[in-house]
Structure 1
């Protein structure tokens, strides 16, 4: 266990100590400070895509509601079909989807049946048409000749096979996707209780930052972080309060923090989190809240500020665009997912083959921008996008995943397994 002094060294501002906080420790400490929202609202199923389910959905019915056919064919009683040799059964009728068979069936009889139609209770198997032969008798009485080898229950879907009465259809804390909404609709449920969307305020800081539409003077740059971070927030289906660019002025910074803390559950800013940067930002944070300035064992994105401004969670992200996005994905996104009430909060990852040599020194977690693809053998592999500087935003634009190199890893050889976080579902 770390000593109190070691933990305090983690919280020092800037480069006053060589000790860096491991990524996993930073994630755990952040999540320990996050309490999920409790406010709920009832909405129509059609409006629930991407929302977080407040209470589990219990199935009031069996799905499917009755035994039904998985194929077009003939429903039979398996005991009427011998283990060897063909069987000849009389066709007693036809069953269409939505029109159950109402007659009584005798031994040696079958029914023609369509996909999804209800299988009569006395029958237990469906034989596909392609293997059967229809034999017409005088007076238009039809029979079907079945080959041997039919198995009981063949091509029959049982009532409650998908969901049984009283079972959990969708769990509490699920971020609702298209399949979830279809499943809930199949239960006849028109409205859902979901958690309130988190409200997140964002602003960029720095006199060198300009918004789109403004002209650039020497030494100035356009604000890209504002658009990448807000896009990441909107992908998480939250309410975003865009406060724009805040100038390096004490009054403007304090006003921005006050406005944000009055309206938002979480405040995000980029820039001004390294030693010596924007002293009035740190001064304002000290005045209004409790914020730690951490140096993380991560590349890119070493500086990170985290804490509270009044009742709002606060993250101060690095100013470099790639570092801002990486730290958002690793620290802000899990915290925001927990705040929203979601149960699945960490980025998903899996191991694949690395298609190039990578240089790395042990000691920190590195996130490289990667391109995951399929090689000539049909196997997944990954390579980097090229230059990996924290200011090279094209490396994120060209990538479809992050290559995650753990702290203990050294150089990577071609053919080694590496862990990747796919962007699908991340951003």
Structure 2
């Protein structure tokens, strides 16, 4: 029987991908970290294994750990708990349990449901086999971390009982003593609160795949901020009617990690709409197909020659040596040549149809002119032997067969990828596509003046840099953009500007007015005047911390209630452009039907040392180029202050840099998000 200071745990990673390549797994280290930091010094992780998502493999490993003379106290699995066809972990574990533990399942779900309704898409199982407690966790490292944190303080009690400790002895002192020993109590309110509370005892900087639960960018180490109230006590934005003295002293919106912000964008961006049929022409470039496209014709539609030469009827022995009369000519133009007989040949050009009866084509290089008549070939000597039928011929449908799928739903039509040529070749004149969203760009602030207004600026005036920059960026990505002008810092004016914008466009981008000042009215206007929902109002990143993402319900032309999107970006120029590419572009892509939204990510090598922000991950403006060795190299554009317009000059990428006390050294590898074309340094 185990004592409270020697509880043992084993971790089972259920992942077919990780089973093939263990380096892809991040869950093991994450869960060990939870045991170490949140386990109260009571746990020893004795072993971890990776198995494919196969019931027999899962069962075998669990039985190995639980069905022996010295079983582990706890087995946690991670992965395979969703609704995918290959997700079998809950079924595998359920078949092995001798006792169910629905309370632990409820605890994990309650903690996750307090964060996102998508927690309902997980299928956790918990219970006891012999003397071992078994719990299934989600596959994402973040989701697995949060589910384990939600129940870890309860697990020693469960494991000790399962191992055989006398319940009377274990419960001596009553529930209050049990709560005290576990470090929990009624004050925690529920397991979700408990999970949230345990988060405050250690630093968070994880950027794992999207799971169920919440992520943070806080660091509560020595010298950090001390908070005595919970952000949930002030759940909404400022109420402008209360005056400046009653505005919030800090943002009521919880800080979100970049990964969590992107997840919220994915969850709340409206689904793409199917447009009416579009003609196959140059206007189709950039469109995304809304259904599979099938070939309406065979390509080629006739038997065609793939060389310049002579169509022949191959004899049974394949011997074509000799002199043959040229009885006709077939060019790559409409018209049918007369039937060809054995012993006759037809001069034929590349792509031209074979005359009826022809069975092969001899290349012109395998022939010699024997005689001519008036400048035309009369007889040709063929030097080929062992000729087979079908040589140098493209058969009907050999390139594309009629009825086959040539392009799939979700494919994007490019200007250089040949999609338009392929559609035209198979006789498709019209394709069903997704409607591209219309974007509106609005600047806010009494200090903003048109960028091209003549004359010097007065004290406090700022030229509108963001609006022309963002309009150009959105148009360059292929979207129709409406210039919404400038709205003043007055609640009624801003509300009317947004209402008019939402009637005209699908997605509104605003800049400025998203901080905590008394004139920062965007969040209050969205929430209090438009009835919108702010899904996040702060992001743990540099630059772009006050970035806001919201949806507002409106009626469309058919009288149906739909959601439209508002992105409120920071007012500083660099912040606005960075957050456009990082957050707005994925939303636009998703509304367009693009299946892999957002910027392309590539690994790059740093060409010099890069300083890091000590507290927040940074998206550093950089120039990525190809070296003579074929390596992608990244160079900073200079000072990265969010108001520094010069940092945008020449930038074709954003480097995803972690937070940290020391610089990243030259030669380090980081991920770059590519915004523009990559040049060569060769």
| 3-state secondary structure, aligned to 2:588 | helix
| Structure 2 residue 523 is matched with structure 1 residue 282 | yes
- 1:266 is displaced (CA, Å) by 1.9
**Per-residue CA distance 1:168-206 (angstroms, 9 max, x = gap):** 222233333333222222233333333333233221112
- 1:227 is displaced (CA, Å) by 0.9
Question: In structure 2, what is the Cα distance between the partners aligned to 1:144 and 1:409?
Answer: 79
- 1:355 is displaced (CA, Å) by 2.6
| Structure 2 residue 410 is matched with structure 1 residue 173 | yes
- 1:396 is displaced (CA, Å) by 2.6
The answer on whether the counterparts of 2:296 and 2:428 sit within 8 Å (CA) in structure 1 is no
| Structure 2 residue 368 is matched with structure 1 residue 134 | yes
When the two structures are superposed, what TM-score results if normalisation uses the length of structure 2?
A: 0.54
Q: How does 1:124-163 map to 2 (within 5 A)?
A: 128-129=363-364, 131-136=365-370, 140-146=378-384, 156-163=393-400
Question: In structure 2, what is the Cα distance between the partners aligned to 1:122 and 1:404?
Answer: 65
Structure 1 residue aligned with 2:296:
60
Question: In structure 1, what is the Cα distance between the partners aligned to 2:251 and 2:525?
Answer: 21
Q: How does 1:360-375 map to 2 (within 5 A)?
A: 360=612, 364-375=616-627
Q: How does 1:258-337 map to 2 (within 5 A)?
A: 258-276=499-517, 278-287=519-528, 288=530, 289-311=532-554, 312-337=564-589
Larger Cα-atom Rg: 2
CA 1:196/1:138 → structure 2, altered by over 3 Å: closer, same or farther? Answer: closer
- 1:135 is displaced (CA, Å) by 4.4
Structure 1 residue aligned with 2:277:
42
Runs ≥4 residues deviating over 6 A: 10-14, 76-83, 121-125, 150-154, 407-410
- 1:315 is displaced (CA, Å) by 1.0
The answer on whether the counterparts of 1:369 and 1:385 sit within 8 Å (CA) in structure 2 is yes
Structure 2 residue aligned with 1:226:
467
The answer on whether the counterparts of 1:63 and 1:160 sit within 8 Å (CA) in structure 2 is yes
- 1:73 is displaced (CA, Å) by 3.8
CA 1:19/1:286 → structure 2, altered by over 3 Å: closer, same or farther? Answer: closer
CA 1:280/1:416 → structure 2, altered by over 3 Å: closer, same or farther? Answer: closer
Query: Bigger CA drift: 203-212 or 165-174?
Result: 165-174
The answer on whether the counterparts of 2:339 and 2:355 sit within 8 Å (CA) in structure 1 is no
- 1:270 is displaced (CA, Å) by 0.8
| Structure 2 residue 440 is matched with structure 1 residue 201 | yes
Aligned pair count reads: 421
| 3-state secondary structure, aligned to 1:381 | strand
- 1:124 is displaced (CA, Å) by 6.8
- 1:58 is displaced (CA, Å) by 1.6
The answer on whether the counterparts of 1:326 and 1:367 sit within 8 Å (CA) in structure 2 is yes
The answer on whether the counterparts of 1:320 and 1:391 sit within 8 Å (CA) in structure 2 is yes
Unaligned runs of 5+ in 2: 1-142, 151-191, 197-213, 215-229, 238-248, 555-563
Question: In structure 2, what is the Cα distance between the partners aligned to 1:352 and 1:174?
Answer: 27
Question: In structure 1, what is the Cα distance between the partners aligned to 2:635 and 2:388?
Answer: 49
The answer to which structure has the higher strand fraction is 1
Q: How does 1:331-410 map to 2 (within 5 A)?
A: 331-360=583-612, 364-405=616-657
CA 1:30/1:376 → structure 2, altered by over 3 Å: closer, same or farther? Answer: closer
Bigger relative CO (Cα 8 Å, ≥ 6 apart): 1
Question: In structure 2, what is the Cα distance between the partners aligned to 1:257 and 1:249?
Answer: 12
Question: In structure 1, what is the Cα distance between the partners aligned to 2:393 and 2:672?
Answer: 41
| 3-state secondary structure, aligned to 1:349 | strand
**RMSD between superposed Cα atoms in Å:** 3.8
When the two structures are superposed, what TM-score results if normalisation uses the length of structure 1?
A: 0.83
Q: 2:267 aligns with which of 32, 37, 42?
A: 32
- 1:111 is displaced (CA, Å) by 4.6
- 1:398 is displaced (CA, Å) by 0.8
| 3-state secondary structure, aligned to 1:256 | helix
- 1:117 is displaced (CA, Å) by 1.8
CA 1:192/1:425 → structure 2, altered by over 3 Å: closer, same or farther? Answer: farther
The answer to which structure has the higher helix fraction is 2
The answer on whether the counterparts of 1:204 and 1:226 sit within 8 Å (CA) in structure 2 is yes
- 1:79 is displaced (CA, Å) by 8.9
